[in-house]
Structure 1
Amino acid sequence: MSALKEQNFFDSKVLGHPSGLFVLFFTEMWERFSFYGMRVLLINFLTSAILSDKGPLFNGWGWDAEQAGALYGTYAMLLYITPIFGGILADKYLGYRWAVVIGAIIMTIGHASMALDAPIFMYIGLACLVIGTGFFKPNMTSILSEMYKNYPEKKDGAYTIFYMGVNAGAFFGMMLCGYLAEKIGWHWGFGLAGIFMLLGTLQFWFAKPIFGTIGDPPTAEQKAAAAKLGAESTDPNDKLNPFTLVDKILIGVMTLLGLGYAFNDPLSKAGDINLFNFKVGSLAGQDFVILVALILFLGVVISRLTRYTKVVRDRMIAVIIFAFFVIFFWMSFEQGASSLVIFARDNVDRTLEGTSLTIFNIINAGLTIIPLAIITYVVGKLTQQTFGKAPLSNVVQILCFVGIWGIAIWMLYREFTATSSEITVSWFSILNSFFIIAFASSVSKIWDSKLNPPAAVKYGLGLIIMAIGFGLLAFGSHGIQEGVKVSMIWLVLAYLFHTLGELFLSPVGLSYVSKLVPARMIAFMFGMWYLAIAIGNKLAAIIGGQIENITNNYSLSTFFLIFTVVPIVAGLLVMALNPVLKKLMHGVK
C-alpha cells in the first residue's frame, strides 16, 4: 500500500480511530453475539427434560451433567487449538481477510445447523463452529495489528475498543438468544445466533473497499522478503533450535493422542462408544492415552529448552510456569458455561413479582437500552464516514441494529406487562460482560500507576479474587435442603468477583509470552499457552459435570468449595514464586 493510500485510510476516522477499526469491532461483535448466544444455551439444552411440560419447543436431550460436560468440554478445548492452524494457513496462503470470511461462513453453517431439530445437526453445527473459529479468531486481531503496524502508540487504544466489541457481542448474544430460547423455544435461540452470524459476515465482506490491501493474501515478493529476513537475522536464537524430525514426529503423535482423548470422552460417556476400551493398571484407557500425550509434550518442551542459551531458557521456563497456573484459573472460571448454568436453573430462586419484578425490569431495561444506544451512536458515526465507500456494508449494519432494537423492545415490553416472571438462566451469564465493561478501565488505571504489581502477584490476586466468588456461593448454598433455592444475589456477587479476577489475570499472560519468548519459538509457545487454556476448559467441564454427583454425595456447598480452595492455594503459590520468576525473567518487566 502506498504511503498516500495508507494516510487516506487513517483520515477516515470515528472517535479518533480509523473507520476500519469499527468495521472489525462490529464484525467481532456479531460473531461473539452468535458464539456466546449459542454457548449460553448448550449445557441448559442438553440437560433439560426430553419431554418438557412447556411443550415440544422446550424439549431438551435429557442428558445428565457429566455427559453434557464431556461434550461441551471437548468443544471448548478444540476452540483453543484450531486457531493455531487457522493462523498458519492465513499467514502462508489465504491472507487474513479471506480467512475471516471463510471462518465466518463455516460458523454461519454451524449455527444454522444447530437450529434444526435433530441430533446429527447439533454435532455438525458444533464441528463447524470449531473449524470456523480456527479461521476466524486469530485473523481478526492480525488484521487489526496490520492496520496499526506504523502507529504503535495507538495500538493499545485500538485493542481496548476492539475488546469492547467482544464484550458487547457476548452481552447481547447471551441476553437475547437466551431469552428467545427459554421463553419461545430452544431452536429460536440457536436460529437467532445464526442469523446475526450471517449478517456479520456480509457486513465484513461488503466493507472490503475500506481496507484496501490490508489483510490480502501474501504476495510472492512478500514471502521471499520474509524468508530473506529470517535467513539474514543476526539474532542467534532465530537460527538455533530448528524443529528436528524427532520433534515433529513426537508433536504429531501427541496431537493424535490428545485428539483421540478429546473425542473419546463424550463418545464413551454419552454414546457408549469407547475408542480406548482397555486398562493400564487402575488407569482407564483414555486417561492413560492423555497421560502419555502430556509426557511426550513435556519431553519435547524440555528437549527444546536445553538447546537455548541460559537467559532465553530461563525466560521460557517463566512462561511455562505462568501457563501451568493459568490452567487452574480457567478450570474454575469456565464453570460459568457448565455448572453455574445448571446451578442457576435448578438451585437459584429466579421467580419475581410485584415490586421486586418492577425493580428488576427497570434495571434490565437500563442494562439493555443504555449500551445499545451508545453502540447505535457509533454505528451512526461509522455510517457517516463510510457510506460512500461501502454502502452495502452499512445497509447490512443498519438492518442488524433494527433487528436488535426490535427484539430488545419486544423482550422489555413482554416483561413489563407480566404480573410475575421467571428470570432466564442465561441472564446471569451477561453479568460477566457487563462487569468487564464497567470495571476494565479502572483496573487498567491501576496497572498504569505506581501500584502496578509484578506479573506473579497479578496472577495470584486474579486467582484469589475469583475464588472469593466461589466462596460466596459455598456460603450462600451452605445447609440448604433439597427443594430450597438460593437467593440470586449470591450468583450476582460471584460473577462480580469472577470478572474482577479475570481482569487481574487474563490480560497479563499473552503479553508476557510475546515479551519473553524469542522469535523462533513464539508460535510454539503461543500454541502451548492456548493448549494450557484448552486443558483448563476441558477440566472445567469434567469437574463441572460432577455437580450432581458431588451434591448428592456431599453437598452443593462442598462442590463450590473445590473452586474456592484450589485457586486460593494456586494463587498463594504463584505469589510465593515471585522472586524465582523475577530472576528467571532477567529484567523483563
Structure 2
Amino acid sequence: MDTKNLDTPNNFFESKVLGHPAGLFVLFFTEMWERFSYYGMRALLVMFFTASVLGDHPGWGWPREHAMSLFGSYTALVYLSTMLGGYFADKLIGFRWAVIVGALLMTLGHGCMAVETPFFIYLGLGLLVFGTGFFKPNMTSIVSLMYKDHPEKKDGAYTIFYMGVNAGAFFGILLCGYLGEKVGWSIGFGLAGVFMLFGLLQFYFTQNIFGNIGLKPLKTRDIVVDENDSDKRVPFSLWQLIIVALCSGLGLIWVINDPVSKISHGASNLLNFNVFGMEGTNFTILLALGLFLFLLFYRLTKYSQVTKEKLYAVTFFAFLTFSFFAVFEQAPGTLTIFARDYTDRILVGNSSLIFLIANSLIAVVPLAIITWVLFLLFKQTFKKYSLANIILSISFVIIWIITIWMLVRDFYGAGFLNLSDATLTSLKIEKVKESLTQIPASWFSVLNSLFIITLAPLFSKWWESKYNPGANVKFGIGMILLGLGMAFLVFGASDIAPGAKTASVSIFWLIMVYLFHTMAELCISPVGLSYVSKLVPARMIAFMFGVWYLAIAIANKVAGILGENADRIAAEKGISYFFLIITGVAVAIGVMSILLAPVIKKLMHEVR
C-alpha cells in the first residue's frame, strides 16, 4: 500500500468555505450532530432515572445515588473506549470507517434508549459507549491529516471544528432537554438518535471529499523525532504488560460493578469480600491504582534525567486535569438535580417575558448563523454531493421547525399567545402580569456552550498577548475559577435546611456557576493536550495520551461518586456544605498549582 498517497491532502484548499476546505465543514456538521445527540441524551439521563414513577412523565424513581453511580460509570467508559476506537482505526479499519461505525452504533444506541425498558436502556448505553469510542478520537485525526501540509491554518481549523462541538452541545441540550422534560423522555432520547442518523448519512455520502485520508490504516506515522533525544526505546516487558492487563481488568470490574451492585442492592456484587478489613470495592480500586502508579514511575526511571523530568511535569498536569473534571462534571448530575429540585424556575410577569425573548434570541441567532454557513457549504459541494446536502438540509429544516415550535409553545403556555390574542402587541398589562414560564432544569446546561462561544475570542486574545501566563498559572486560575463557581451555590443554598428535598433558590446562582465554570474550562482545556505533545518524546506520545484520557475517565467516575454523596451530606449538614467542600478543594489545588509554578517550569526545561 502506498502510504504516501494516504498522507497527502488531495487539493483540499481548491474548494473553500470561509477560507478553509469544504471538507472541514463536512466534519463540522457531522461532529455537530454527534455532539447534539451525546449532550442531548446526557442532559436527560440522571433526571430520567430519578424522576418519579408517577405523573405525566414517569421515570424510574431511582435514588440519586444509583443514578449518579451509573452515570459516572457511563461517562468513564466513554473516555476509556476512545483508546479501543483509536486502536481499531490505527491498526485495522482507518479513521473514516471508524467514524462511520461509531455513528452507526450511536444511532442504534439512542434508538434503543427511546424504548425506555431496562434491557434497551442498558443496551443503548453500551452501544453509545462503544460508538463514542470509535467516533470521538478519529474525527480530530482526520482534521489533523487534512492540515498536515498547512500547519499555519491548523489552529483556525480546530477553532471552527470546536465551534461545531459547542453548537451541537448547545442545541442538543436545549431541544432534547426541552422535549424530554416537557413532552416525554423517549421523545428526547429518540430525537438524539434522529440527528445522529443525519450526521452518519451526511458523512457517509460526502466522504469522498477527503480523498484518501482516513480510508485505510497507515503503515507509517508522521512522527517528528527530536534529534537531540538520546533516550533509547523502552519497550514493555512481559511483566509490565501483565500489570497493564491486571490494572485494566481490575479498573473495568470496579467501574462496572459499582452501579450494578447498587442497583441490584448487592445481589450482583462481584466485589463482596474483605481483605485485611477493607471492603472488596475499595481494595480493588486501590490495588489497580497502586499497580498503575508503580508501573508509571518505574518506567520513568528508565529515561534520561531531562525526559524523566518532563514526564513528571506531564503527570502533574494530568493530576490537575483529573481534579478539574471531577468538579466540572458535576454539571449533568448534581447541578442539574439542584436546578430541578432546589431552584425557583418559575418566572412570572415581566421576568417571564424577558426570559422568553432572551431564550428566543439565544436559540434563533446561533441557528441562523450556522444555517448561513450551511448555505456557503452548499454553494461549494451541492453539485458533487447533492444527496448528502439534501440530507443535511432536511436536518436543518427539522431543527428549525422544532425550535420555532418550542418557542411558540412557550409563549403560548405563558399566556402571551392564544387563539383570541395572537400577537404580543395587543397584550394588556394585566395579561403580562399573569404570564408564567417554567424553565426546564436542563436549560442551565446550555449556558456552558453559550458562554464558550461568547468568551472564547476574549481568552484567545489573552493567550496571544504579552500577559499570557504559564501552564501552571493557567491551571491554577482555572481551578480557582472552578471553586469560585461552586462558591456561588454555597451562598445561594445557605438557607436550605439539612434534609430538605426541595427549595426555591434564585436562578442567578446557577447562571453564575456556569459562567465561572466556563471561564475555568477556557483556562484549562487549551493547555492539557498541547503540553502532552510538547513535553512527551514522540515514541511515548500514545502511551501518555492514554494516561491522560485515563485520568479524565477516572475523574468522570469520581464526579459520579461525589454526586452520590451529595444527598448524604445534604441530609446531615445541608447541600450548601457539599458545595463548600468542593469549593475548598478546588481553590486549594489552584493555589498549589500557582505556588508550584517555578518547580514545574524547571521540570519542563524551557518548553512553553
Shift of 1:6: 4.3
Spell out the pairing of 1:50-449 with structure 2 (5 A cutoff). 50-52=53-55, 54=56, 58-218=57-217, 223=219, 225=220, 239-272=232-265, 273-418=268-413, 419=415, 420-449=436-465
| Alpha-carbon distance in structure 2 between the residues aligned to 1:315 and 1:564 | 30
1:37 to 40, 44, 67: 40
Shift of 1:7: 6.0
For the 8 Å contact 2:341–2:503, the answer to whether it is kept is no
Shift of 1:421: 2.3
What is aligned with 1:553?
572
Deviation track 1:260-311 (CA, whole Å, cap 9, x = no partner) reads 0001100111113210111224421011001000111011111110110110
Shift of 1:484: 3.5
Shift of 1:8: 3.6
Worse-matched range after superposition: 187-196 or 531-540: 531-540
Shift of 1:236: 5.5
Shift of 1:117: 2.5
What is aligned with 1:565?
584
Shift of 1:233: 9.3
For the 8 Å contact 2:15–2:21, the answer to whether it is kept is yes
| Alpha-carbon distance in structure 1 between the residues aligned to 2:556 and 2:452 | 20
Identity, % of aligned positions? 54
| Alpha-carbon distance in structure 2 between the residues aligned to 1:406 and 1:19 | 26
Deviation track 1:18-59 (CA, whole Å, cap 9, x = no partner) reads 00000000000000000000000000000111122x2xxx11
Shift of 1:13: 0.5
Letter aligned with residue 244 of structure 1:
S
| Alpha-carbon distance in structure 2 between the residues aligned to 1:507 and 1:531 | 18
For the 8 Å contact 2:5–2:212, the answer to whether it is kept is no
Give ranges in structure 2 of 5+ residues lacking alignment. Answer: 416-435
Worse-matched range after superposition: 378-387 or 297-306: 297-306
Shift of 1:353: 2.3
Aligned to 1:421, the other structure's residue is in SS state strand
| Alpha-carbon distance in structure 1 between the residues aligned to 2:512 and 2:221 | 50
For the 8 Å contact 1:208–1:390, the answer to whether it is kept is no
For the 8 Å contact 2:231–2:303, the answer to whether it is kept is no
- The change in CA–CA distance for 1:237 and 1:402 in structure 2 (over 3 A counts) is farther
Deviation track 1:72-106 (CA, whole Å, cap 9, x = no partner) reads 01001111111112112111221110000001001
Deviation track 1:495-528 (CA, whole Å, cap 9, x = no partner) reads 0001001101121000000000001211111110
| Alpha-carbon distance in structure 2 between the residues aligned to 1:156 and 1:127 | 34
Letter aligned with residue 15 of structure 1:
L
Aligned to 2:525, the other structure's residue is in SS state helix
| Alpha-carbon distance in structure 2 between the residues aligned to 1:266 and 1:398 | 41
- The change in CA–CA distance for 1:226 and 1:484 in structure 2 (over 3 A counts) is closer
For the 8 Å contact 1:338–1:545, the answer to whether it is kept is no
| Alpha-carbon distance in structure 1 between the residues aligned to 2:393 and 2:168 | 16
For the 8 Å contact 1:82–1:133, the answer to whether it is kept is yes
Letter aligned with residue 89 of structure 2:
A
| Alpha-carbon distance in structure 2 between the residues aligned to 1:244 and 1:6 | 38
Deviation track 1:550-589 (CA, whole Å, cap 9, x = no partner) reads 1111111101111110000000111111111011001101
Letter aligned with residue 31 of structure 1:
E
For the 8 Å contact 2:12–2:146, the answer to whether it is kept is no
2:469 to 427, 431, 453: 453
| Alpha-carbon distance in structure 2 between the residues aligned to 1:38 and 1:274 | 28
| Alpha-carbon distance in structure 1 between the residues aligned to 2:402 and 2:93 | 37
| Alpha-carbon distance in structure 1 between the residues aligned to 2:58 and 2:314 | 46
What is aligned with 2:541?
522
For the 8 Å contact 2:9–2:149, the answer to whether it is kept is no
Aligned to 1:81, the other structure's residue is in SS state helix
Letter aligned with residue 84 of structure 1:
M
What is aligned with 2:432?
none
What is aligned with 2:530?
511
| Alpha-carbon distance in structure 2 between the residues aligned to 1:401 and 1:363 | 22
| Alpha-carbon distance in structure 2 between the residues aligned to 1:245 and 1:504 | 40
Letter aligned with residue 471 of structure 2:
A
Aligned to 1:95, the other structure's residue is in SS state helix
Letter aligned with residue 383 of structure 1:
F
Worse-matched range after superposition: 558-567 or 145-154: 558-567
For the 8 Å contact 1:28–1:169, the answer to whether it is kept is yes
| Alpha-carbon distance in structure 2 between the residues aligned to 1:397 and 1:378 | 12
| Alpha-carbon distance in structure 1 between the residues aligned to 2:230 and 2:136 | 29
TM-score by length of 1: 0.96
| Alpha-carbon distance in structure 2 between the residues aligned to 1:186 and 1:146 | 39
- The change in CA–CA distance for 1:7 and 1:198 in structure 2 (over 3 A counts) is closer
TM-score by length of 2: 0.93
* Number of corresponding residues: 578
For the 8 Å contact 1:47–1:64, the answer to whether it is kept is yes
Deviation track 1:143-197 (CA, whole Å, cap 9, x = no partner) reads 0000000000000000000000000000000000011111111100000000000
| Alpha-carbon distance in structure 2 between the residues aligned to 1:215 and 1:541 | 35
Letter aligned with residue 449 of structure 1:
S
Letter aligned with residue 525 of structure 1:
M
| Alpha-carbon distance in structure 1 between the residues aligned to 2:30 and 2:279 | 44
Give yes or no for the alignment of 1:12 onto 2:15: yes
Shift of 1:337: 1.2
Deviation track 1:530-557 (CA, whole Å, cap 9, x = no partner) reads 1111111111111112222111111111
Letter aligned with residue 161 of structure 2:
F
| Alpha-carbon distance in structure 2 between the residues aligned to 1:129 and 1:517 | 31
| Alpha-carbon distance in structure 2 between the residues aligned to 1:26 and 1:271 | 40
Letter aligned with residue 435 of structure 1:
F
- The change in CA–CA distance for 1:234 and 1:6 in structure 2 (over 3 A counts) is closer
| Alpha-carbon distance in structure 1 between the residues aligned to 2:185 and 2:52 | 12
| Alpha-carbon distance in structure 2 between the residues aligned to 1:283 and 1:472 | 37
Aligned to 1:546, the other structure's residue is in SS state helix
Shift of 1:247: 1.2
- The change in CA–CA distance for 1:216 and 1:7 in structure 2 (over 3 A counts) is closer
Letter aligned with residue 130 of structure 1:
V
What is aligned with 1:28?
31
| Alpha-carbon distance in structure 2 between the residues aligned to 1:323 and 1:99 | 27
For the 8 Å contact 1:65–1:546, the answer to whether it is kept is no
For the 8 Å contact 1:238–1:519, the answer to whether it is kept is no
For the 8 Å contact 2:456–2:522, the answer to whether it is kept is yes
Shift of 1:65: 1.1
